[in-house]
Amino acid sequence: MNKKYIIFDFDGTLANTNNIIIASWQATFEHYLGHTLPVREIEATFGEILVNTIGRLIPDAPVNEVVDYYRAYQDSHQQDYEVYVFEGIRELLEQLRERGCIIGVGTSRTAYSFWNYMKKLGMDGYVDEVVTMNDVTSHKPDPETIDAVLIKMMAHAGEPYDSGSGIPDAVRGAALMVGDTKFDIGCASNACVDSVMVGWSHYVDEEAMLADGFVPTYRVERPEQLLEII
């Protein structure tokens, strides 16, 4: 086995939350801009923290107020949109665990939102370590998310971590970031970790990703294909 620390994004990678996210943004844009935006433009924001998206697309609105509006809409309309675990993901996580992998999640969601969905989906027992937006100060594509979850995963595996010398190259080499957006791929690139772009979620603007200098190490179209990489 050449990959031991497997880090997943949540939205669009483990679970399909696309419809509720798009609906929440459209309601927010309608409220603050007076109109909606093309779905492709919203998909391009997937993986980005809310305040950054708001700063670009609703620049004249009070950011904290907009964040509250977006989150309130999503919380109150969850029952209106199907959110589900992608086909083959549960089986993939079970097989990774059987192979001795440590399973982590690095997400730009808040801890409350992430665990709320994980519990509703019956997924809270499938992962070993989690880092949410509440655990870091610099967000994807900054490497802090991956670094933070790798430190937790090393502790889970009983491996010593020396903050003075940083995360060993061997650990980075044994890590894999699996995601659906350029922010995930960029986070992996900046953390010197191999990445996997999944193809089962939504449209990805490849030109925009490449323009940012982010190139995934691998691509998969089905969850079980990840086992071939591992």
pLDDT in tens, the chain (230 residues): 589 999 999 999 999 999 999 999 999 999 999 999 999 999 999 999 999 999 999 999 999 999 999 999 999 998 899 899 999 999 999 999 999 999 999 999 999 999 999 999 999 899 999 999 999 999 999 999 999 999 999 999 999 898 888 999 999 999 999 999 999 999 999 999 999 999 999 888 888 888 888 999 999 999 999 999 88
Kindly report whether the peptide bond that precedes residue 160 is cis, defined as omega within 30 degrees of 0.
Answer: no
Domain stops at, among 80, 96, 127: 80
Query: Is this prediction's pTM over 0.85?
Result: yes
- Token pair for 210: 């490449």
- Write the CB contacts of 50 (distance below 8 Å, at least 6 apart in sequence): 66, 67, 70, 71
Question: What is the number of other CB atoms lying within 10 angstroms of the CB of residue 112?
Answer: 12
Instruction: Read off the amino acid at residue 51.
Output: V
109 and 97 inside one domain? yes
Shared domain check, 124 and 40: no
Residue range(s) defining the domain that contains residue 47: 18-80
Do residues 169 and 213 both lie within one domain? yes
Q: Are residues 203 and 108 in the same domain?
A: yes
Structural tokens at position 108: 């730009």
The four Cα atoms 58, 9, 121, 114 give a dihedral, to 10 degrees, of -50
Residues 10 and 35 in one domain: no
